[in-house]
């Protein structure tokens, strides 16, 4: 009887550890996806609003392609979403000589719409 209790306890511990590990891995992928979306949003806004910006030489996107746990399909889906949606968060500066790229990107990054899209995109991999 003790032997069965010990085996049962070990199974419970293994299942719990597995679930926790999967949650951590998903959270890391979620954060990487949001990071890539932020990079893509800033690049998109710079391209269309401030083409003289030095940020156009930012190669952060390469990190996400080469070093993150995101698949190429996920990166492409996120980029397409950003190109289509991020300008909806554009804010107009009170100073006509400036822009609001960082603030607008921050609003997009923190939006529920982006979070929902990323959750849906990451979930497709596990179906």
Q: Is the pLDDT of residue 121 over 60?
A: yes
Q: How far, in Å, CA of 75 to CA of 72, rounded?
A: 5
Residue 54 has what pLDDT? Answer: 60
- Contact predicate 104/91, CB 8 Å: yes
Confidence check: pLDDT of 127 > 50: no
Please determine, for residue 115, whether its predicted confidence score (pLDDT) is greater than 60: yes
pLDDT at 86 (0 to 100): 95
What confidence tens digit (pLDDT) does each residue in 95-109 have?
988 889 989 999 999
Instruction: Note the pLDDT of residue 1.
Output: 62
């Amino acid at each position: 009887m003790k032997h069965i209790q010990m085996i049962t306890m070990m199974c419970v511990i293994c299942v719990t550890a597995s679930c926790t590990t999967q949650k951590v891995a998903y959270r890391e992928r979620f954060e990487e996806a949001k990071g890539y979306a932020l990079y893509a949003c800033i690049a998109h806004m710079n391209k269309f609003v401030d083409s003289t910006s030095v940020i156009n030489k930012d190669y952060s996107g390469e990190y996400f392609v080469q070093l993150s746990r995101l698949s190429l399909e996920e990166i492409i889906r996120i980029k397409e979403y950003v190109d289509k949606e991020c300008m909806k968060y554009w804010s107009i500066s009170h100073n006509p000589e400036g822009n609001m790229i960082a603030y607008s990107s921050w609003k997009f990054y923190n939006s529920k719409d982006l979070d929902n899209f990323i959750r849906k995109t990451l979930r497709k991999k596990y179906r």
